[in-house]
Amino acid sequence: MRVSRRSMLAGTAAGVLAPAVGLAGPAEAAGLTRRITIYAEALPNGRYGYGLEPGKATVPGPLLEIYEGDTLEIELVNTTDQRLSIHPHGVNYDTASDGAPLNASFNNPRETRTYTWRTRARAEASGGFWMPGSAGYWHYHDHAMGTDHGTAGLARGLYGGLIVRKRGDLLPSKQYTVVFNEMMINHEMAPNTPILEARLGERVEWVCIGYGSLPHTFHLHGHRWADTRTGMLSSATDNAQTVDNKNLDPGSSFGFQILAGDGVGPGVWMYHCHVQTHSDGGMVGLFLVRNPDGSLPDGAQDAIDRFKQHDHSGHEMPEARTHA
């Protein structure tokens, strides 16, 4: 699910989810408190989602963004008849904002509750060591529906991405959240998985998250990134490993930025789990890189049509058995 970065980084301390007219830049003072309201709602087919407006819940939920040093206050409105919560990874919070029944931190049915998440920059500790900051690609999810660990909430779609940026980070033109959960991508299986789009040369940010009980790996065709906090190199002499496939196990997350079609051109590129039985079973989606003018590149529609016709039953094709 793509949400404009401006919905979290722009505006004043309160009401930042209104349509933005500017972007908070690196010079903005740290320590702002940003307040938002999130609605937890029941969706068709037994799913649940988080949304920024009533009736607008999605799976995954909205991509939340703040800078290191800022505090995010989330008023969670539970519109459902289920116990649920919101629990973050990668940020600081007290037990009252844990989102776990262990600390009696959850929303009862129809209840509204405020959760407070704090962030910090890296800080010097004693002995010449440093404490890490909050910057990274993280996520949030329910921790109370079904069991005390929120297993039913995760299985039904209550999750989303969370980015904590350092001031001065390069900002993308497009953002996508990709969640591997059991045998699904964003709660869908091929051929109904998301087709994510960008124009040639656009800077695209991916936030990748794993849930469920199965191990996964995330692979993106035609593109690669540095195995760093942002997916980019910090200098001409930065020798961080370059990857195009990375483990995405339950509870883990990472993100990266790429230039769409850089070095390979426009076209239709797969992203998928590289556990073969998982990709065969439907854990695959498409990244469509359009021409600079937004038109479809040659062969793109044919590739999309072929994808829609692929056998994603998880069984070997007869030809494969013949030549095995």
Are 10 and 159 contained in the same domain? yes
Q: How confident is the model at residue 6 (pLDDT cuts 50, 70, 90)?
A: very low
Per-residue tokens: 29: 């003072």
Of 126-135, 148-157, 197-206, the one with minimum mean pLDDT is 126-135
What sign results for the dihedral spanned by CA atoms 305, 188, 2, 139? Answer: negative
Q: Are the C-beta atoms of residues 104 and 154 closer than 8 Å to each other?
A: no
Q: How confident is the model at residue 22 (pLDDT cuts 50, 70, 90)?
A: very low
Q: How confident is the model at residue 19 (pLDDT cuts 50, 70, 90)?
A: very low
Rounded distance between C-alpha atoms, residue 321 and residue 135, angstroms: 48
Look at residue 1 and tell me if it is in a domain.
no
Are 105 and 32 contained in the same domain? yes
Q: Enter the DSSP assignment of 98.
A: S
Main-chain dihedrals φ then ψ at residue 274, nearest 5 degrees: -95, 10
Domain that holds residue 297: 174-318
Average pLDDT over residues 292-309: 96
Confidence (pLDDT) at 310: 81
Are 110 and 182 contained in the same domain? no
Look at residue 33 and tell me if it is in a domain.
yes
DSSP letter string over 103-140?
A: GT-SBPTT-EEEEEEE----EE-GGG-EE--S-EEEEE
Are 146 and 220 contained in the same domain? no
Average pLDDT over residues 278-296: 97
Tell me which of 111, 130, 165 is where a domain ends. Answer: 165
CB contact set of 40 (below 8 Å; sequence gap of 6+)? 48, 49, 50, 57, 76, 77, 78, 79, 80, 84, 86, 107, 142, 158
HSE toward the beta carbon, residue 83, CA cutoff 13 A: 16
Closest CA to 101 of 48, 146, 139, 41: 146
Look at residue 312 and tell me if it is in a domain.
yes
Percentages helix, strand, coil for the chain (3-state, rounded to 5) are: 15, 35, 50
Confidence (pLDDT) at 322: 37
Look at residue 323 and tell me if it is in a domain.
no
Say if residue 12's pLDDT is above 70: no
Rounded distance between C-alpha atoms, residue 215 and residue 277, angstroms: 12
Are 83 and 156 contained in the same domain? yes
Look at residue 11 and tell me if it is in a domain.
yes
CATH of the domain at 251: 2.60.40.420
Per-residue tokens: 139: 């996520």
Tell me which of 165, 196, 225 is where a domain ends. Answer: 165
Main-chain dihedrals φ then ψ at residue 128, nearest 5 degrees: 80, 5
Are 64 and 33 contained in the same domain? yes
Q: How confident is the model at residue 305 (pLDDT cuts 50, 70, 90)?
A: very high
Average pLDDT over residues 185-209: 97
Each residue's pLDDT tens digit, 132-185: 999 999 999 999 999 999 999 999 999 999 999 999 999 999 999 999 999 999
HSE toward the beta carbon, residue 227, CA cutoff 13 A: 9
Tell me which of 165, 186, 210 is where a domain ends. Answer: 165
Average pLDDT over residues 256-276: 98
Are 120 and 199 contained in the same domain? no
Closest CA to 94 of 71, 67, 124, 126: 71
Residue with tokens 């963004």: 65
Confidence (pLDDT) at 184: 98
Look at residue 324 and tell me if it is in a domain.
no
pLDDT above 90 as % of the chain: 82
Q: Is this prediction's pTM over 0.85? A: yes
Confidence (pLDDT) at 298: 97
pLDDT above 70 as % of the chain: 87
Give the chain's domain count: 2
Main-chain dihedrals φ then ψ at residue 7, nearest 5 degrees: -65, -20
Burial of 170-190, coded b for 16+ CB within 10 Å and e otherwise, reads eebebbbbbbbbbbbbbbebb
